[in-house]
């Protein structure tokens, strides 16, 4: 080992000497395994039994990374059980059969409570204690039923968790993060965006209707015990493909990998240039060894198939059903009253929650406008001599809304191009996937901006519930439009007639007309 690694493991060993070896660690040390590899094996197997850890070590005896001080990555998920889980699993099977595999199939049904974070091997038990403390604190206020509202877009389908139940779940995630910071000295980022349970993600748009029909067969109100589950994964292979061995393979050469049915293989798609056709190079999860293997001996596996399940906390039962405790996590400690929450704890949690829940302003530019692509004379390219609009190119809009003054006013108030409409919808889709909650929308009175706002709201499924507030004060017109006066814009009545859900009651916050006031600009005379 390198000097730095030796110092790290010496530091770990010193801490263990102070605390004393656990009932899981002690048998491994008695077998002659070094402390750091024994701890690594326990973390990699979920600290279940000494037998599983010793088997892992025997399989990894030729693992070149066995002595590397690389910790596992951990994450906390809220997982459904019972009837709801069965319905979700049935949806998984049917959606895969009818619409092929999508990104949601990579992971089991869950609500993400925190991002993945690293934890040193000798501190893993502190995560278990943090989970128990956080669960005990929130147990009394955890909702008996978690309401799930179905949301759909062209690339996302899932349930959103709203209102007070979502606040309680976020409080649990925040408490877990704070406990982990204190007990294990780890930085955990609790989920701050809208809580959601994904049903389908990044699927083909023409499958949306079929997926929605399958989703409507799910009854989220059915009995369900929600369980917080701590998982870990090998951080080295996060962006690799995962293959599952179907058949046994005995190496014919030294650089080939031994395969047993059920083995998982991590494959980096960017490192396959040196392989022959029909072969890939990968790393075995079972042995840690790297080598060539025949690709037709494997099939694609899911991302979460290689994750390790550690501990659970079931709220309705208020107990850990899975934990198998060793000396430092005995049943006696389960019976101890948890540490009372001090005023400092309360204020810290409230401060962190306030930071997470504070409102933000999202500034969005409009999509591609027609005159940016077809030039200032774009209107002449798409209008007949009698002033009617036609579509000379597919990137022109399909149609133009009616204006009382006719088509000529579109010259200085151009619409979005077809690509601009697509960009706007993509922005809305990205906001939906991020889980951001939109409460109000303000837009410039320029047609391109109102169109952008409309398409974003349509992707968020909010076009009927949130009215667009047209604010002249944020209209920018001095860069592209020519002339010394503001262009003629569509009125609220015209926008409403054209199908835009604009607010007719909103009163302008600011309206500065540059033509009404002479403003001196250095070196450029006056406006």
Question: Rounded CA gap, 197 and 160, in Å?
Answer: 6
On whether the CB atoms of residues 118 and 73 are closer than 8 A, the answer is yes
Q: How many CB atoms lie within 10 A of CB 24?
A: 26
**What's the mean per-residue pLDDT of the chain?**
83
Q: Indicate whether 4 pLDDT > 50.
A: no
Rg of the chain on CA atoms, in Å: 30
What is the phi/psi pair of residue 74, to 5°? -125, 150
The answer regarding whether domain 241-301 maps to CATH 3.40.50.1580 reads: no
* Predicted confidence band of residue 316 (pLDDT cuts 50, 70, 90): low
- Count of Cβ atoms closer than 10 Å to residue 102 Cβ: 21
Distance, CA of 171 to CA of 142 (rounded, Å): 10
CB atoms within 10 A of CB 467: 18
CA distances for 14 relative to 7, 10, 70, 407, 525, angstroms:
10, 6, 19, 81, 75
Residue 285's SS3 state is coil
Q: What angle do CA 327, 329, 332 make, to 5 degrees?
A: 90
In the chain, where the domains are located:
24-60, 72-234, 241-301, 370-477+487-498
**pLDDT tens, 126-158?**
999 999 999 999 988 998 889 999 999 999 999
The fold of 370-477+487-498 is: Rossmann fold (3.40.50)
Could you give the CA distance from residue 22 to residue 38 in angstroms, rounded to a whole number?
Answer: 11
325 pLDDT band, cuts 50/70/90, is very low
- Asked if residues 9 and 36 have their Cβ atoms less than 8 Å apart, the reply is yes
CA 177 to chain CA mean position, Å: 18
pLDDT tens per residue across span 9-64? 444 444 433 344 578 898 999 899 999 999 999 999 999 999 999 999 999 999 99
Q: How far apart are CA 186 and CA 172, in angstroms?
A: 17
Q: Which two tokens stand for residue 176?
A: 């877990």
Name the superfamily (CATH) of residues 72-234.
Cyclic phosphodiesterase (3.90.1140.10)
Distance CA 201, CA 139 (A): 32
CB 79 within 8 A of CB 221: no
3 state SS of 383: strand
């Amino acid at each position: 080992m390198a000097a730095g690694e030796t110092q790290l493991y010496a530091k770990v060993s010193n801490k263990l000497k102070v605390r004393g070896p656990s009932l899981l660690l002690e048998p491994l040390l008695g077998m002659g395994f070094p402390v750091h590899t024994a701890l690594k094996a326990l973390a990699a197997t979920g600290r279940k039994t000494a037998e599983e850890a010793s088997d892992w070590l025997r399989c990894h005896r030729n693992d070149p990374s066995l002595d590397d001080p690389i910790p596992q990555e951990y994450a906390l998920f809220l997982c459904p059980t019972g009837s709801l889980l069965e319905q979700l699993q049935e949806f998984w099977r049917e959606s895969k059969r009818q619409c092929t595999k999508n990104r949601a199939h990579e992971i089991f049904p869950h609500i993400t409570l925190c991002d993945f974070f690293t934890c040193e091997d000798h501190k893993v038990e502190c995560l278990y204690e943090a989970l128990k403390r956080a669960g005990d604190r929130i147990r009394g206020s955890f909702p008996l039923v978690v309401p799930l509202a179905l949301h759909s877009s062209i690339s996302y389908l899932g349930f959103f968790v709203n209102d007070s139940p979502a606040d309680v779940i976020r409080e649990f995630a925040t408490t877990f993060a704070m406990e982990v910071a204190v007990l294990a000295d780890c930085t955990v980022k609790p989920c701050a965006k809208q809580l959601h349970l994904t049903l389908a993600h990044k699927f083909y748009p023409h499958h949306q209707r079929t997926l929605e029909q399958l989703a409507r067969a799910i009854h989220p109100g059915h009995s369900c015990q929600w369980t917080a589950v701590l998982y870990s994964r090998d951080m080295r292979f996060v962006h690799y493909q995962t293959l599952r061995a179907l058949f046994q393979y005995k190496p014919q050469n030294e650089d080939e990998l031994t395969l047993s049915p059920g083995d998982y293989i991590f494959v980096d798609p960017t490192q396959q240039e040196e392989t022959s056709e029909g072969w890939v190079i990968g790393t075995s999860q079972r042995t840690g060894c790297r080598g060539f293997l025949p690709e037709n001996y494997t099939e694609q596996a899911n991302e979460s198939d290689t994750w390790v399940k550690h501990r659970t906390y079931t709220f309705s039962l208020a107990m850990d059903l899975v934990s198998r405790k060793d000396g430092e996590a005995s049943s006696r400690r389960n019976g101890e009253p948890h540490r009372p929450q001090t005023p400092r704890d309360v204020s810290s949690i409230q401060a962190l929650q306030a930071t997470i829940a504070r409102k933000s302003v999202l500034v969005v530019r409009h999509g591609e406008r027609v005159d940016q692509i077809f030039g200032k004379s774009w209107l002449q390219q798409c209008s007949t001599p009698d002033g009617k609009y036609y579509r000379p190119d597919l990137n022109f809009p399909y149609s133009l809304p009616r204006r009382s003054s006719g088509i000529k006013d579109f010259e200085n108030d151009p619409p979005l191009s077809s690509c601009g409409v697509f960009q706007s919808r993509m922005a809305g889709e990205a906001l939906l996937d991020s889980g951001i909650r939109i409460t109000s929308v303000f837009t410039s009175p320029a047609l391109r901006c109102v169109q952008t706002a409309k398409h974003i709201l349509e992707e968020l499924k909010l076009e009927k519930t949130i009215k667009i507030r047209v604010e002249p004060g944020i209209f920018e017109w001095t860069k592209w439009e020519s002339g010394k006066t503001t262009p003629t814009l569509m009125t609220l009545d015209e926008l409403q007639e054209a199908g835009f859900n604009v607010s007719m009651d909103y009163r302008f916050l600011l309206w500065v007309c540059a033509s009404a006031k002479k403003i001196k600009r250095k070196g450029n005379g006056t406006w």
